[in-house]
A = this chain, B = another copy of it.
């Protein structure tokens, strides 16, 4: 069926993934219909099956697409030779701005991937874990460098960064007025310093 790896096919397939991402983000996996997706990309419902074997596979591909570039960027950040603070800022920036750039696929990955059967989630789990591990690595480096507190729970820290970025990401998607750059700054600051003023040490 996918015999033609023709450029036209590749291009349409990408359009299909993006259309599916947009619709899943808006309506959720179960709330979205194949008709919705097809009409989002300007074709008829039946034609969708030329690009996806099933609706579920569409979800799988969207999730993969969503997290893949997200991990890629993290890979670049993690391997870059920068001080901790720069890398954290880069992480937060990458994560949050991906939401504004209408990367609906990431939102879909976060919210809907659980509706995939275990098997189709393996790859996603690997990528997700990889992402978290890279981020944990950054934190570990930070601790080693003295940029971070001794004894910091790096796993907890990484999860928290992901969590707070996703939370603000949803707000960003929902509220177009939000100044993403400002949010990035503040999130970054919160993660570094918390809300409490530095205690005057004697």
Partner of A193, one of B153, B159, B194: B194
Indicate if A37 sits at the interface (CB-CB under 8 A): no
Q: Mark A130-155, 1 if CB is under 8 A from B, else 0.
A: 00000000010010001111101100
Bound-complex Cα distance A67 to B115 (A): 25
Indicate if A164 sits at the interface (CB-CB under 8 A): yes
Bound-complex Cα distance A171 to B162 (A): 12
In contact, A191 and B190 (Cβ under 8 angstroms): yes
Interface size class of A (residues with CB under 8 A): 35 or more
Q: Shortest distance in angstroms between A196's beta carbon and chain B's nearest beta carbon?
A: 5
Among listed A5-13, A14-22, A23-31, A94-102, interface-contacting one: A23-31
Q: Mark A170-202, 1 if CB is under 8 A from B, else 0.
A: 010000000000010011011111111111110
Q: Shortest distance in angstroms between A69's beta carbon and chain B's nearest beta carbon?
A: 22
Partner of A28, one of B30, B146, B160: B30
Indicate if A52 sits at the interface (CB-CB under 8 A): no
In the assembly, how many copies of this chain are there?
4
A197 to B, closest residue via Cβ: B149
CB neighbours (8 Å) of A28 from chain B are: 28-30, 115
Bound-complex Cα distance A139 to B194 (A): 13
In contact, A194 and B197 (Cβ under 8 angstroms): no
Bound-complex Cα distance A72 to B186 (A): 29
In contact, A192 and B192 (Cβ under 8 angstroms): no
In contact, A196 and B148 (Cβ under 8 angstroms): yes
Bound-complex Cα distance A52 to B156 (A): 41
In contact, A193 and B193 (Cβ under 8 angstroms): yes
Indicate if A111 sits at the interface (CB-CB under 8 A): yes
A161 to B, closest residue via Cβ: B195
Bound-complex Cα distance A106 to B163 (A): 17
Indicate if A167 sits at the interface (CB-CB under 8 A): yes
In contact, A192 and B190 (Cβ under 8 angstroms): no
Contact A198-B197, Cβ < 8 Å, known A30-B30, A160-B164, A167-B163: no
